[in-house]
Amino acid sequence: MTKPLHVALVQHSNSADLAHNFAKTQDGIRKAAAKGAQLVVLQELHRSLYFCQTEDTDLFDLAETIPGPSTDTLGALAKELQIVIVASLFEKRATGLYHNTAVVIESDGTIAGKYRKMHIPDDPGFYEKFYFTPGDLGFEPIHTSVGKLGVLVCWDQWFPEAARLMAMAGAEMLIYPTAIGWDTRDDLDEQTRQCDAWVISQRAHAVANGIPVISCNRVGHESDPSNSSEGILFWGNSFIAGPQGEILAHAGAKDDEILSVELDMQRSEDIRRIWPYLRDRRIDHYQDLLKIYRD
């Protein structure tokens, strides 16, 4: 893929009102398309609040099938606007079996493919292992009319192995729907270090693989229903980076924003010719990567 590609992402805050959230998402998609976007990326679990702050079996009611109501609505919108959409849903695969799933909607309204989040965190405020079964679809790019999309989800973004496997399978860009934020009790210096590390890690994936990265996070404070913490202040800072990790567009930490930029897809070809990391990989000496740790 060497033609320029106009991409966009939709960063916004969420509330307990699912209909309001989904309307906001759809409005953002329309505005992105009006700017010329051919590919629009949404944030992680964009329909609801980030419900994983607590463990509550009633919250499984938020899950839906794929195909289902959200993919039907987004499919109609994608077809109307002639764009590709990367959405993020709480998937009900079967009773008692749920995934954190990114689904790609083709410009004709059909489902091009999906990716089930592979790395599942379990930390204070991020109790995802209670809700999500680890993905079983592997690290396979999704083929679309705008290219081969290496779609991953949030916690996956900290693992270079996931990015590399997507690139090795032919992904032409890496896409990360995300929900990450600060503990408000952390001081400003610590908050800055955390956000910087998040951006640096993903920019490094762009550099190491010679392909663009699109990372879409949410914003706003979401309280902890259990009142055991002060909730999460989602830090926004969504961004789009080129194949050398260069920042092409960067959102702020507080406001709803739509980032839109034209990617020069030829640059990936050019960059990989002068920085041929795939050529120089020493796979004959990487066996220990299959171990958890070298004792």
Helices 188-209, 160-168: axis angle to 10 degrees equals: 20
What is the rounded distance in angstroms from the CA atom of residue 251 to the CA atom of residue 231?
22
pLDDT at 36 over 70: yes
Whether 154 is a known active-site residue: answer: yes
Confidence of residue 268 (pLDDT cuts 50, 70, 90): very high
Token output for 295: 């004792």
Whether 44 is a known active-site residue: answer: yes
Q: For the residues 137-148, what does the mean pLDDT come to?
A: 98
Q: What is the pLDDT of residues 44-64, one digit of tens each?
A: 999 999 999 999 999 999 999
pLDDT at 228 over 90: no
Q: What is the pLDDT of residue 19?
A: 97
What is the rounded distance in angstroms from the CA atom of residue 272 to the CA atom of residue 269?
5
Choosing from 24, 44, 114, 128, the catalytic residue is: 44
Q: What is the pLDDT of residues 152-173, one digit of tens each?
A: 999 999 999 999 999 999 999 9
Closest listed residue to residue 215, CA positions, set 264, 152, 161: 152
Strands 39-42 and 5-11: parallel
Closest listed residue to residue 141, CA positions, set 110, 163, 111, 108: 163
Where are the chain's structural domains?
Answer: 5-290
Choosing from 117, 172, 216, 222, the catalytic residue is: 117
Are the beta carbons of 149 and 169 closer than 8 angstroms?
A: no
Token output for 172: 């032409």
Residue 285, H or E segment: none
Are the beta carbons of 89 and 47 closer than 8 angstroms?
A: yes
Mean pLDDT across the chain: 97
Choosing from 24, 92, 154, 216, the catalytic residue is: 154
5-290 topology per CATH: Nitrilase/N-carbamoyl-D-aminoacid amidohydrolase (3.60.110)
Adjacent-strand bridge partners of 94: 97
pTM: 0.96
Q: For the residues 30-48, what does the mean pLDDT come to?
A: 98
Q: What is the pLDDT of residue 1?
A: 66
